Each structure stands twice: as structure tokens, then as C-alpha cells.
Amino acid sequence: MDLRPAALAWAHEILRAHWAPERYRLEPERERLRLHRGRDRQVYALDLQVWEREGLAELRPGPDGDWSCVLFPAEAPAEAVPRPLPDAAAAVARRAAPSDGGLLRAERALGGAGPALWAVVERRRPDGLLGVELDLDGGERVGFVCLPFERGSRQSAALGRASVVERAGTQIRLPPEARLRSARLQSGPGRRVWTLRWEATEGERRGWVRATFNARSGRLCGLSRSLRPVAPVEGPGRASQASAERALALGARLRFGDGARVGIPAPGLVRVGGELRAGWLAVVHAPRGLYRAVLADERVRFVKLRPRRRA
């Protein structure tokens, strides 16, 4: 199943919630499979660079062969058709662009209305990364991060906790049983965001949802979720989900102490003694780091997860 079209469609949907389509261009950078620790399995990830447009340059040739340029924050007329842009005209457009813009990405000629040419002007550098993640089974939307939406988050006072929680309710669809467990204001180089986390321990879908919001505007900047339908999955060698939760929680407490937290277990195949067995997998947040907990043959095992290296 090719998930790239679905990932691109979601990326455009994320941006168009706040930006007009003519304001940006997306450039795919990397696609990969990544381990989603909340789901204990791989997800499809697509990273894209967002190029923001400054506007249009209208170029007209003068009688002596020189070109004049005027910038407009608009789109080219509907009757514009592609046509090469002369080097002299492109040079004039670059000089007329704003100091942080000036990269010409496309050219259009205005057909039937004289010699005027139109050129799209973008910023010199991409505006930031937009990454989306989809589940490999069916393409469920797992999460995203949109760095351009964090812009301006440090320019003035941050929103209060109550305001952010209220705005979150209009931007995220949560299970009715989800309860807010934490809300933290975090600051870093060039960014300041609120990070909220909800957990659903009852109902038809259980798990967690984590989201980040621009601390000044309250705009949703990132989302990650792990919600699974509750269904008894039993079979030879596999305990029920309820008994697996109890066994994993007990094993984690005995191994790491009362401070360990065990995620929602997921059914899977576990290699035991060279054979694949039905079992349960979960992520354990322990005082000494993250571990993968494996329950198979009524035994709980723990494997330390190595932190991902940032490129």
C-alpha cells in the first residue's frame, strides 16, 4: 500500500487550516519507517520542507532593453501561461525581492496583455519542516509536527493553561473518556510551546494523545496519538489484554520500582528460544530510561530502548 499520497494530502490539509494554498509550496525531503514507541511498531513517516511565497514580481521591458520590476502579494492572472523568463528579468526580480526572499521558483507570462511577465518569489530558505506519520495498517493518521506554526511563539506573553486547554478542544478530536493528565509550558531556542497530554483508560478506544501548541497563538503545532480499540485477543499462548496489563505492571514495578509507568499493551509475535510465540508488547517509562516489555509464555522480559540520534 502506497501511503505517500495520503501523507501528502494530510500535509496540505494541515497547512490549509491556516494558510491559503497560494502561500506555500511543499517539497518532499525524506520518507522512512520509524518505530512509534507508543504503538510498539513501525509507522510510515514523510518529511517535507515548507517554502513560503513572498508574492509575485511583475516585470516589464523598457524601450532601452532594461526591465522594471514591481512586487505584488497576489497570484498571477488566470490567463497566465508558462513561459521562460529572460536572465535579465530574473536578475531584476531578485534584486527587488525582500532581504529574506528573492528566490525565483517559477515563471509565468501574461498572454494577450502585452509583454509583461510574472514570476513567483519565495524566501531564500525553507520556512521549516512538516512531518506526518501514518499507521502501516490502513493509513490511520498517527501524528504530525509543523515547525512553521511555531513561528512567533516567543514574541509576547504566553497564553495561560486554561486558554490553551480551551483552544485545544476546538482543534483536536478526543475520545469522550480522555482526561487531561499534564500541561507544561516549554521553551527552547526560537520556540515556546505548550505540551498537553490526555489519557483514555476506559471506553472503546484506550491510550493517549499528546499535542503541542504555539504558546502565543494557541495554534496546534504537533500531534501524536496511540489509541487502540479494546478487544479481547486470546489464543494459544496469549493471555487476555486485562491479564497482560496486570502482569506487565507487576513485572515493571518489581524491576524498576513504583515510579515505572507501563503503556497500553499490544498483541504481537515474540521470538522465544528461536520460535515465534503469541505475546504482548508494551513500552515502560522507568526512572532509568525507556524499556520494551515483552510478555510471552507467562514471562515478562525487558529490553532497554536506545535513544534516537538526531541528524
Q: Helix (H, G, I), strand (E, B), or coil: what is residue 149?
A: helix
- Residue at grid coordinates 521562460: 84
pLDDT at 87 over 60: yes
**CA atoms of 156 and 152, how far apart (whole Å):** 8
The predicted model gives 88-110 an average pLDDT of 61
Share of the chain above pLDDT 90, in %: 31
- Using an 8 Å Cβ cutoff, are 244 and 281 in contact? no
**CA atoms of 5 and 31, how far apart (whole Å):** 12
The predicted model gives 12-21 an average pLDDT of 91
pLDDT at 101 over 70: no
The predicted model gives 38-49 an average pLDDT of 83
- Using an 8 Å Cβ cutoff, are 133 and 210 in contact? no
- Residue at grid coordinates 505584488: 72
Q: What angle do CA 304, 307, 311 make, to 5 degrees?
A: 155
Burial 126-149 (b: 16+ CB within 10 A, else e): bbbebbbbbbbeebebbbbbbbbb
**CA atoms of 178 and 195, how far apart (whole Å):** 16
In this prediction, residue 224 carries a pLDDT of 94
Residues 214-273: pLDDT tens digits?
999 999 999 999 888 775 444 444 557 777 887 788 788 878 888 888 988 888 887 777
285 burial level (CB within 10 Å; 0-12, 13-18, 19+)? middle
21 DSSP 8-state letter:
G
Long-range contacts of 161-165 (CB under 8 A, 24+ apart): 161/185, 161/194, 163/218, 164/194, 164/196, 164/213, 164/215, 164/218, 165/196
Query: Among 45-59, 65-79, 249-263, whose mean pLDDT is lowest?
Result: 65-79
pTM summary value: 0.65
**CA atoms of 145 and 149, how far apart (whole Å):** 9
The amino acid present at 75, given as its one-letter code, is: E
The amino acid present at 184, given as its one-letter code, is: R
Burial 24-58 (b: 16+ CB within 10 A, else e): bbeeeeeeeeeebbbbbeebbbbbbbbbbbbbbbb
pLDDT band at 81 (very low <50, low <70, confident <90, very high): low
List Cβ neighbours of 190 (8 Å cut-off, separation of 6 or more).
Answer: 150, 154
Helical residues (DSSP H) of the chain, grouped into ranges: 4-16, 87-96, 161-168, 241-256
